Amino acid sequence: MNLLHLPQVRVTAILLLLAGLIGLVWAPNPLTAASPTELRSIPSIPLTDVNPVGANFFLDREVEPWKKEQTVRMAKEAGIGWMKQIFAWEEIEPRKNYFFDDKFRKSTWEKYDQIVDLAQQHGVRIIARLDRPPAWARPEGSPETAPPTRFEDYGDFVRALVDRYKGRVQFLQIWNEPNLAVEWTGRPDAPGYARLLQIAYEQAKAADPNVVVLSAPLAQTLEESAFNLNELKYLDALYKAGAGRYFDAISANAYGFDLPPDATPNATALNFGRLQLLREVMERNGDKDKPIWFNEFGWNASPESMSPEKLIWRRVSEEQQAQYTADAIALTRKWGWVGTLNIWYFRQVGDFSIERSDYFFRMVDTDFTPRPVYDRVRAAYDRLAVATPGEYEELATPVDARGPWQLANKPGASGGRVLQTTGDGATLSIRFNGTGIGLIMPPPAEPVRLLVRVDGAQSAVDIPAGGGEFVLAPLVKGLRPGEHTISLERVSGPAWGFDRVAVEMKPDFGPFFMFAGVALVGGLLMAASYMQNTGKH
């Protein structure tokens, strides 16, 4: 009897062939699998590999807690990772070294404590704008935007704030638009502001060396009068006054007026591209290794009926506002020297009248109705929110750290900083497209166990203790190529931190070859059976 003639053998051959072919369709194919032609690398300028989407907020003016909560929640859902928020000196320190509200019998810090807690809960990092001196600290009869009489008083306030929010509020904007007389009473004074910046920088770094100090944003203006000074010339004067040693990043305003973001830079015109001229000033002064962060950024969508004299920022349609904002985010990623773009503004609390042009910058109405720019920004964020093969720094767009985390200076780290936990409840989640992911990190002083969840499955990963060199700690490998979300939290061990995220794309082709073998066996059996049957006849 010839076994190849048995019907069971032919059925088995057919089943093997079908199973193999179906498996080949499912398994990663080494002949067709996409392979990254270029791994993503870390940008060369520190503080640029960050979530570029930020916004200005007015939570200090909001009374109802649920509105604060909903504001921050909606912002986070749109991908906004940065909150530019004023911490008004006049409210916090009504008298020298006195931080108490006698009228309401409570700490003047209380309102700001709640804002900090809320931001940390949602994984939104705060950029604290520090200005508005109290009456006791400025010349009698001067406006609330006047510089303080004694710059040292301002330095003391900066230090008090850093001491209170150490590790929680680490990005500080020192003053606002000093190139305008309205923000620096009298005549713009670059050497004077440089001195204020130096004092604030030294006090902030003495309280917490890990803080990031941003210079005051300069207003976009073509003026060269006794009252307002062109921001390009003002920045150059700041460098000549020695201010370059006293900030970690430049702040700048970046309004687009009525032109698209790719409008040609022009020293005699106001547009978004003008920021490239500000960058040239930095480079001429030997400061090419620092970034520019956008303090106020956006386009105004006032209605056509708005009277021309009110259109300080000119106007575009709401559709143009939305598209230009998204295009600018994408464009600045290519420039390579831009950090976060803080949109002016997310939502106001009802004190901007609809008769005012600045009412029409909003991303969200006071009743929480999102405007077109909100949806377009969320889409722009989504395009950046998935890590592809390569490396990402600790504040990069795909990295979502919530709870008690802080930036900490670390020699040898990319950009000189790591992100580390400061207490219980810190969580980390990362969206990525690859087959594996790990963290490049300084070894902890003692072993750390992390609970790792990926695509619904969970496991424990042990990080051994060590010292010295940074190590790559693999978190998961061998995933099917595609998009995944990994989340981490500490189960046991001391505080831990990381410098970079490393994503790999190494498909496992073992299943492909296994199914190919199954299909081959099935095919050979069928061929042999057919040949036997043909020979018999």
Answer yes or no: is pLDDT of 119 > 50.
yes
pLDDT at 109: 99
SS3 133: coil
Q: How far apart are CA 254 and CA 256, in angstroms?
A: 6
Q: What is the rounded average pLDDT for all residues in the chain?
A: 92
Question: How far apart are the two ends of the chain, measured CA to CA in Å?
Answer: 16
Answer yes or no: is pLDDT of 3 > 50.
no
- Read off the pLDDT of residues 478-490 as tens digits, 9 standing for 90 and up: 999 999 999 999 9
- Read off the pLDDT of residues 401-418 as tens digits, 9 standing for 90 and up: 999 999 999 999 999 999
Which of 77-91, 309-323, 466-480 has the weakest average pLDDT?
A: 466-480
pLDDT at 22: 75
Quick one: residue 457, left, alpha or beta (phi over 0 = left, psi -120 to 50 = alpha)? beta
- Read off the pLDDT of residues 39-98 as tens digits, 9 standing for 90 and up: 899 999 999 999 999 999 999 999 999 999 999 999 999 999 999 999 999 999 999 999
* 185: confidence class by pLDDT, cuts 50, 70, 90: confident
- HSE toward the beta carbon, residue 227, CA cutoff 13 A: 1
38, burial (CB in 10 Å: exposed 0-12, middle 13-18, buried 19+): exposed
DSSP letters spanning 30-46: TTT----SS-B---SST
Q: Could you tell me the maximum CA-CA distance found in the chain, to the nearest angstrom?
A: 116
Token look-up 């620092």 returns 290
Q: What is the mean pLDDT of residues 106-129?
A: 98
How many C-beta atoms surround the C-beta of residue 392 within 10 A? 23
Q: How far apart are CA 109 and CA 91, in angstroms?
A: 9
Residue 255: which residues within 8 A CB-CB, separation 6 or more?
Answer: 220, 270, 272, 296, 297, 298, 299, 300, 313, 344
CA distances from 453 to 174, 428, 487 (A): 40, 11, 5
Pull the structure tokens for residue 26.
């499912």
pLDDT at 16: 56
Pull the structure tokens for residue 452.
């790792």
Q: How far apart are CA 112 and CA 63, in angstroms?
A: 12
Helix, strand, coil percentages, rounded to 5, for the chain: 35, 25, 40
- Read off the pLDDT of residues 493-530 as tens digits, 9 standing for 90 and up: 999 999 999 999 986 555 666 655 655 655 566 666 65
Pull the structure tokens for residue 199.
């004092």
Phi, psi of 461, rounded to the nearest 5 degrees: -120, 125
DSSP letters spanning 286-343: T-TTS-EEEEEEE-----TTS-GGG-TT----HHHHHHHHHHHHHHHHHHSSEEEEEE
